Amino acid sequence: MKMLTQKMMWLGMVLVLIVLTVFGAAMMGSVLGSKPKEVPVALVILDQPAELPTGGTFAIGEMIREKLLSSPAMWIPRKRLGKDWINANITERW
């Protein structure tokens, strides 16, 4: 318990807390004020529906697409691109 009575130990702990607070505030200052502008997002669904034992199909990719595109938070303008365009542009870039 002699450690708790030493002034240098308390000074070191306070110094560490101050440094962490300063760096944390500096990081938050750069993150909180930023707003993304026209960030391109691609939703590529190339999966095939799964066959269920009951005879139906389960198209999880289409379900995800419908949920994302029907959301009012997705206010950005959208373009629907075909598979041919996607395949041509992906192979050109890579």
pLDDT tens digits, one per residue of 43-76: 777 788 889 999 889 888 888 888 877 877 766 6
Q: Quick one: residue 59, left, alpha or beta (phi over 0 = left, psi -120 to 50 = alpha)? A: beta
pLDDT at 33 over 50: yes
Report the Cα–Cα distance between both ends of the chain, in Å, rounded: 63
Instruction: Please say whether the beta carbons of 10 and 3 come within 8 A.
Output: no
Return the closest-CA partner of residue 60 out of 49, 52, 70, 71.
49
H or E stretch including 40? none
Rounded to whole angstroms, how far apart are CA atoms 25 and 19?
A: 10
